């Protein structure tokens, strides 16, 4: 649970994306693309889920990348190599089904790009023809460009402000690609509005679309149901039934609302603790 | 002169809802001795048949009357490693006290006159704790060669571990959460089971040489095969019934509709009642509704009411249950405690739908009234909804406490372990061995939701069978 490496990947004002490598032999051994860990920074801390971005079996370490948003990620961002987490458990959730689908498009937005990387790498290795679309608010917040370039056949970049790549949204390019070519699978991970828009675009083209959801969790082992989400009219637990679901079947309104349940408390505690 | 049964003293209801401090104080020496002296010392002590682990109740009560508390402690410990826990959480009115001769036959639960065996057990357990009594550890040459992995640190797991460790077996307990105790920690609130008691009983296992590995999810972090490869001779699965059931009615996924497991885990395990010192939040409402009639429903309601009080909200917590009070599976003592604290009971109602405000938070619930029909397969009278009896209640916090199912993380990852239609693990009841050799199971993962002491009963059978299987 000791932090062995730290790198600030991007920063604009108080938005910061950080990479931490953490010693976790058992998790590094078992982790597969698409899976996540749950961690605590202290005994008083929250349990939060984070996707396993990479692993080094030999060194027994896993890589996590996060954007400082709530209190826990802010505390996490203050940790340095040599510091230890209080708790770390995983790998959790179903791994991504990796096989040769054929032509696939992978869409990553913001810190979701980090979650996209292990999936892209595995799909490329499995022989897929991989097109990757990355979206960021601005150039300084675009992460893992080089890494994703190395595991894709085509790479497209958009920024909201046009400071790098194409000005606009990932879905603009997604639509163009689907117009031009036939794809078997679209995989999207990022902010809820982005995944939702991706699913709306692919629905028109009737392309199977997987999304990796970032529901709130507590135990993350199927015990509490905090992360429940309606998929195709059925309640599913993101932690044990997901985190990937058919993007066309997800009740996005419900997910958006449920993810805002503690917004006021989160703002309150951030103000209080980070003074 | 016939002595009246002696209730243990309790913290006054108006005071106890201000905190999570323990409600029942327990007997002092004088009270214990007085209650023990009421025991008839029956020739045929039927009370023992009501105890899932077969504690020699007659003997330990006699020892109390002789002021031999030390002896009483070891009498209990022969059968039960955790008297301070069981004395607090055992539903005695359905077990030993129900079979006590002073309870009339065919009574659905213990009579008031039945000996307060649980309070006596608690007194003896706490005496042992205060006086640091511990059971000497056996040192079998064979046992020392055996290494057993226990999966889950709830009642079944710690009981099995204790049984084996006392015989000199090396035991490692793997727990998926960051703290130990399973449902005793995340489910049962501190006002029923104070954390220092739980910690003491778990530390006792550490003293016996049991090793604990938290944050380790067997089936995910390590596989069963992996454990055997690490050199474990046998495994015990005390996985628990960790998956909450929901009602399947519209609006159930609205914000501020919680499963009891989530609500209690946030408060009990993550200490959300002490937010923001502890960082996990929990929401509380002006009109809390708890659905269900079991112990979990009572716990959730009493937690909700305390949170209202502690947050300056006028307490308004209501339990909705579709049958009547007599059919409630909760402990009678906890139903009484809930009532004393001001929990309202709305019986014979069936929730139909939750309604939201514009932000997606629950604000109202619609129910149907019920009447009782003929007894169903559970032996309890079946609730029948009355057509067009709909009514609505304000509800800005809802907690669903309608039961728990098996946690399937391990069994789904290990298809060789046979499960039944409820996803519970199938075992040979004589040995508690699963369909995989050298893998045993007990507690709620076998046969569904039960009590702490039932889980321990299964764990003891398994511990014995594990020793036997490892010696052949």
Q: How far apart are CA B463 and CA B469, in angstroms?
A: 10
Q: Which of the four pLDDT bands, split at 50, 70 and 90, describes residue B448? A: confident
Q: Which of B242, B254, B359 sits opposite A222 (nearest CB)?
A: B242
Q: Which of the four pLDDT bands, split at 50, 70 and 90, describes residue B140? A: low
CA-atom Rg of chain A in angstroms: 18
Interface contact flag, A230 B253, Cβ < 8 Å = yes
- Provide DSSP, B393-443: EE-SEEEE-S-EE---HHHHH-TTS-B-TTSPBP-BTTTTB-SSTTEEE-G
The residues with which B433 forms a beta bridge, in sequence order, are B428, B440
Q: Which of B220, B244, B280 sits opposite A91 (nearest CB)?
A: B220
Q: Which of the four pLDDT bands, split at 50, 70 and 90, describes residue A13? A: confident
- Nearest CA-CA distance, residue A3 and chain B, Å: 17
Per-residue pLDDT, averaged over B334-340, amounts to: 95
Q: What percent of chain B has pLDDT over 90?
A: 78
Disruptive mutation site among B220, B222, B266, B396 for chain A (greatest number of A CBs within 10 Å) = B220
DSSP code for B93: G
> What's chain B's length in residues?
472
- Are A74 and A18 in contact by the 8 Å Cβ rule? The answer is no
Interface contact flag, A225 B244, Cβ < 8 Å = yes
- Are A110 and A69 in contact by the 8 Å Cβ rule? The answer is no
Q: Which of the four pLDDT bands, split at 50, 70 and 90, describes residue B472? A: low
Tell me what pLDDT residue B141 has: 59
Disruptive mutation site among B151, B152, B178 for chain A (greatest number of A CBs within 10 Å) = B178
Closest CA to B301 of B345, B266, B357: B345
- Nearest CA-CA distance, residue B30 and chain A, Å: 40
**pLDDT, tens digit (0-9, with 9 covering 90-100), for B388-407:** 999 999 999 999 999 999 98
Tell me: pLDDT of B91 over 70: yes
CA distances from A235 to A108, A137, B145, B248, B283 (A): 26, 33, 47, 9, 22
Interface contact flag, B176 A221, Cβ < 8 Å = yes
**pLDDT, tens digit (0-9, with 9 covering 90-100), for B194-218:** 999 999 989 989 988 999 999 999 9
Q: Which of A30, A71, A229 sits opposite B220 (nearest CB)?
A: A30
**pLDDT, tens digit (0-9, with 9 covering 90-100), for B265-297:** 999 999 999 999 999 999 999 999 999 999 999
Cβ contacts of B359 on chain A, cutoff 8 Å = 257, 260
Q: Which of the four pLDDT bands, split at 50, 70 and 90, describes residue B333? A: confident
Q: Does B271 touch chain A (CB under 8 A)?
A: yes
Closest CA to A223 of B445, B279, B405: B405
Tell me what pLDDT residue B384 has: 93
Q: Which of the four pLDDT bands, split at 50, 70 and 90, describes residue B342? A: very high
Nearest residue on chain A to B178, alpha-carbon basis: A87
Q: Which of B186, B221, B279 sits opposite A27 (nearest CB)?
A: B221
Structure tokens at B359: 């932000």
Q: Which of the four pLDDT bands, split at 50, 70 and 90, describes residue A272? A: confident
Closest CA to B187 of B88, B297, B282: B297
Which of helix, strand or coil describes residue B125? helix
Structural domains in chain A plus CATH codes: 3-92 (2.40.30.10), 103-258 (3.40.50.80)
Cβ contacts of A26 on chain B, cutoff 8 Å = 216, 221-222
Which of helix, strand or coil describes residue B143? helix
Interface contact flag, A223 B244, Cβ < 8 Å = yes
Q: Does A232 touch chain B (CB under 8 A)?
A: no
Q: Does A12 touch chain B (CB under 8 A)?
A: no
Q: What is the average pLDDT score of chain B? A: 92
Q: Whole-angstrom distance between the N-terminal and C-terminal Cα of chain A?
A: 27
Q: Which of A26, A47, A258 sits opposite B221 (nearest CB)?
A: A26
Structural domains in chain B plus CATH codes: 13-130 (1.10.1060.10), 143-242+406-471 (3.50.50.60), 244-404 (3.50.50.60)
Which of helix, strand or coil describes residue B234? strand
The pTM of this model reads 0.94
Closest CA to A109 of A69, A156, A63: A156
Q: Could you report the predicted ipTM of this complex, rounded to two decimals?
A: 0.94
Structure tokens at A93: 């959730």
Tell me: pLDDT of B134 over 80: no
Q: Which of B215, B216, B360 sits opposite A257 (nearest CB)?
A: B360
Q: What is the average pLDDT score of chain A? A: 94
Q: Does B261 touch chain A (CB under 8 A)?
A: yes
Q: How far apart are CA B27 and CA B322, in angstroms?
A: 36
Q: Does A228 touch chain B (CB under 8 A)?
A: yes
- Nearest CA-CA distance, residue A74 and chain B, Å: 12
- Nearest CA-CA distance, residue A131 and chain B, Å: 31
């Amino acid at each position: 649970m000791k932090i062995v490496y730290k790198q600030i990947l991007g920063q604009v004002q108080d938005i910061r994306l950080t990479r931490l490598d953490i010693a976790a032999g058992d998790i590094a051994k078992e982790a597969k693309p698409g899976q996540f860990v749950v961690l605590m920074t202290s005994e008083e801390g929250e349990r939060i889920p984070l996707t396993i971005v990479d692993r080094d079996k030999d060194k027994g370490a896993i890589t996590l990348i996060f954007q400082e948003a709530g209190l826990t990620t802010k505390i996490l961002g203050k940790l340095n190599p040599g510091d230890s987490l209080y708790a770390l458990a995983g790998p959790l959730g179903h791994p991504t089904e990796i096989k040769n689908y054929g032509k696939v498009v992978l869409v990553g937005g913001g810190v979701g790009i980090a979650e996209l990387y292990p999936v892209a790498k595995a799909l490329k290795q499995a022989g897929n023809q991989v097109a990757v679309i990355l979206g960021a608010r601005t150039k300084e917040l675009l992460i893992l460009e080089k890494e994703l370039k190395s595991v894709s056949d085509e790479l497209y970049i958009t920024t909201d402000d046009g400071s790098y790549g194409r000005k606009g949204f990932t879905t603009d390019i997604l639509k163009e690609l689907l117009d031009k070519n036939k794809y078997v699978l679209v995989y999207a991970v990022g902010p809820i509005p982005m995944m939702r828009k991706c699913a709306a675009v692919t629905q028109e083209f009737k392309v199977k679309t997987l999304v990796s959801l970032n529901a709130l969790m507590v135990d993350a082992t199927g015990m509490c149901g905090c992360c429940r989400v309606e998929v195709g009219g059925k309640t599913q637990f993101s932690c044990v039934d997901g985190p990937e679901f058919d993007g066309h079947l997800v009740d996005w309104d419900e997910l958006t609302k449920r993810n805002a349940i503690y917004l006021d408390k989160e703002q309150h505690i951030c103000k209080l603790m980070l003074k | 002169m016939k002595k009246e049964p002696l209730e243990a003293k309790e913290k006054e209801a108006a005071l106890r809802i201000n905190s999570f401090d323990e409600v029942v104080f327990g007997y002092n020496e004088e009270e214990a001795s007085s209650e023990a002296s009421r025991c008839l010392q029956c020739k045929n002590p039927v009370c023992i048949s009501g105890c899932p682990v077969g504690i020699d109740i007659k003997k330990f009560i006699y020892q109390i009357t002789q002021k031999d508390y030390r002896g009483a402690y070891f009498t209990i410990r022969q059968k039960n490693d955790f008297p301070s826990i069981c004395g607090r959480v055992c539903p005695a009115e359905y077990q030993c006290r129900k079979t006590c001769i002073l309870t009339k036959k065919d009574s659905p639960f213990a009579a008031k006159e039945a000996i307060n065996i649980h309070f006596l057990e608690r007194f003896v357990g706490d005496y042992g704790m205060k006086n640091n009594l511990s059971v000497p550890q056996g040192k079998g040459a064979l046992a020392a060669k055996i290494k057993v992995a226990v999966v889950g640190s709830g009642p079944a797991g710690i009981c099995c571990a204790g049984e084996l460790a006392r015989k000199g077996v090396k035991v490692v307990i793997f727990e998926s959460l960051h703290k130990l105790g399973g449902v005793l920690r995340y489910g049962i609130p501190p006002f029923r089971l104070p954390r220092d008691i739980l910690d003491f009983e778990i530390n006792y296992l550490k003293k016996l040489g049991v090793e604990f590995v938290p944050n380790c999810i067997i089936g995910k972090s390590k596989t069963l095969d992996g454990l055997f490869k690490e050199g474990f001779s046998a495994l015990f699965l005390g996985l628990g019934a960790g998956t909450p059931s929901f009602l399947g009615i519209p609006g159930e996924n609205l914000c501020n509709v919680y499963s009891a497991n989530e609500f209690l885990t946030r408060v009990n395990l993550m200490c959300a009642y002490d937010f923001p010192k502890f960082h996990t939040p929990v929401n509380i409402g002006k009109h809390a509704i708890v659905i269900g009639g079991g112990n979990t429903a009572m716990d959730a309601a009493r937690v909700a009411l305390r949170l209202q009080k502690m947050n300056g909200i006028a307490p308004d917590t209501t339990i909705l249950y579709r049958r009547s009070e007599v059919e409630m599976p909760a402990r009678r003592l906890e139903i009484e405690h809930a009532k004393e604290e001001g929990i309202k009971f709305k019986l014979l109602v069936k929730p139909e739908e939750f309604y939201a405000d514009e932000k997606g938070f629950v604000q109202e619930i619609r129910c149907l009234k019920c009447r009782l029909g003929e007894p169903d397969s559970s032996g309890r009278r079946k609730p029948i909804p009355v057509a067009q009896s709909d009514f609505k209640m304000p509800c800005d916090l809802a907690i669903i406490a309608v039961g728990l199912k098996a946690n399937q993380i391990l069994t789904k990852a290990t298809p060789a372990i046979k499960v039944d239609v409820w996803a519970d693990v199938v075992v040979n009841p004589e040995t508690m061995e699963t369909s995989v050799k050298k893998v045993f199971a007990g507690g709620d993962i076998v046969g569904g939701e039960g009590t702490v002491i039932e889980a321990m009963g299964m764990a003891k059978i398994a511990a014995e069978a594990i020793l036997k299987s490892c010696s052949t």
